[in-house]
Amino acid sequence: MKFLENGTVTSPQGFTAAGVIGSVKASNTTKRDIMMIASDTLCSTAAVFTKNLVKSSAILVTKKHIENGKAQAVIANSGNANTCNADGIEKAERMCELAAENLNINKDDVIVASTGVIGQVMPIEPFEKAVPEIAKLMSKDGGTNAAEAIMTTDTVKKEAAVEIELGGKTVTIGAVAKGSGMIHINMGTMLSFVTTDAAISSEMLASALSEAVEVSYNMVSVDGDTSTNDTLAILANGKAGNDEITTRNADYAVFTEALTELCKKMAKKLAGDGEGATKLIICSVDGAKTKFDAKGAAKAVICSSLVKAAIFGSDANWGRVLCAIGYSGCDIDVSKVDVSFVSDAGEIEVCKDGAGVDFSEETAKKILLENEITIKVSLNDGDGKAEAYGCDLTYDYVKINGDYRT
């Protein structure tokens, strides 16, 4: 397995993309905000969506379109979530129609997604004007422009690709994602599209995606708010020429491992670029009675506002870590818990067997000043392990969200 330098969603064979300035928000005249991704052949497809009862109309349309496990293109926008709108489904369907007309494919083979402000009517005119232009610009080099088009409060584009060997054939998996705030993924506003030239059935694709999501995207939290628009979709066009994966065989295992590692890489990008964030926080838990307990403990720690604030201040306030573990609801013997803080500047143990140990505050501060911090938790009670991904809580998070709509 090899991550590609400058890998994008168009790295796999047969995929093209583009993004343009469509001015979905009338005030936007400088940033790409409408994009499309397409395969030159029909793809096996799977997707997972937000568990929020309030869902974007785009999700409702996409669910209907991929009931047969097939899709060929994605159209997505930033600037408007198309959520809680009386004409939302009509607008989402029209976006698919426009994509289909200009790509010469069936409209039911189009996935649609939106991100932005909730409850504002989606203008269709920008799409009527922009989609024909996007179709003309579709290219192998368009992945990065597509990545920009779905950014909202994101500060960096999020894209990557990985290569593996399946039956002597080189298979590539590419991904693009956006998400910075309203992220507490449970399948923030999080959109992610994954492409691959692997030959794999839609059933096995759905299984692999489900496995990958549980230990990657679903272990991310920026602010505890589960978005109305979370969508993660994967398209596989078979262009690599490997024997089609139709069972959970050895090739399925290799593919799923690579997909999982790619999703973890994207999950870290999402967490590290949380709104106002200055640091990526990884909580690594081992020694839990079960994997369920490990996941619960790790997620509780990275969701804790007090932990997040302490990391922002480079304060080794380990008691907040134990506090979060204690209310996680997991089966944990707190008298066995060890905690360390780890970064490129070193590692320092701050808690042993549920009690504080002497440590240098100066050394701890140095470790916590780095921009990637791992909170290492050993529960010493079993073989369960998990990682969760979050970020620090800063003054800028409130500034960004205090006037996000206006």
Question: Nearest 5°: phi and psi at 218?
Answer: -75, 0
Predicted pLDDT at 399:
77
CATH topology of domain 2-272: L-amino peptidase D-ALA esterase/amidase (3.60.70)
- Residue 284: pLDDT over 90: yes
Q: Where in the chain is the domain with CATH 3.60.70.12?
A: 2-272
**What is the mean predicted confidence (pLDDT) over 328-351?**
97
Predicted pLDDT at 53:
81
Confidence band, pLDDT 50/70/90 cuts, at residue 182? very low
- Residue 247: pLDDT over 70: yes
Confidence band, pLDDT 50/70/90 cuts, at residue 132? very high
Question: Nearest 5°: phi and psi at 115?
Answer: -150, 145
Q: What's the farthest any 2 CA atoms get from each other in the chain?
A: 68
**What is the mean predicted confidence (pLDDT) over 140-166?**
92
DSSP for 179-224, written as a single string: -SSS-B------EEEEEE---B-HHHHHHHHHHHHHTTGGGBBSSS
pTM score, two decimals? 0.85
- Lowest mean pLDDT across 36-40, 131-135, 228-232, 364-368: 228-232
Predicted pLDDT at 394:
84
Predicted pLDDT at 405:
57
CATH code that applies to domain 280-402: 3.10.20.340
Residues annotated catalytic, as ranges: 189
* Greater model confidence, 276 or 135: 135
The rounded distance, in Å, linking the Cα atoms of 190 and 179 is 5
**What's the CA angle centered on 99, arms 9 and 255, to 5 degrees?**
30
Helix (H, G, I), strand (E, B) or coil at 298: helix
Q: Any bridge partners for residue 352, and if so which?
A: 355
- Residue 300: pLDDT over 90: yes
For 176, counting Cβ atoms within 10 Å of its Cβ (0-12 exposed, 13-18 middle, 19+ buried), the class is buried
Predicted pLDDT at 393:
87
Q: Any bridge partners for residue 38, and if so which?
A: 16, 73
- Lowest mean pLDDT across 47-61, 198-212, 333-347: 47-61
- Type and span of the H or E element at 356: strand 355-356
Q: Any bridge partners for residue 389, and if so which?
A: 220, 282
- Residue 398: pLDDT over 90: no
Q: Where in the chain is the domain with CATH 3.10.20.340?
A: 280-402
**Strand bridging mode 70-77 / 34-49:** antiparallel
Predicted pLDDT at 203:
98
For all residues of the chain together, what is the average pLDDT?
A: 92
Predicted pLDDT at 186:
42
**What's the CA angle centered on 33, arms 29 and 37, to 5 degrees?**
145
- Residue 189: pLDDT over 80: no
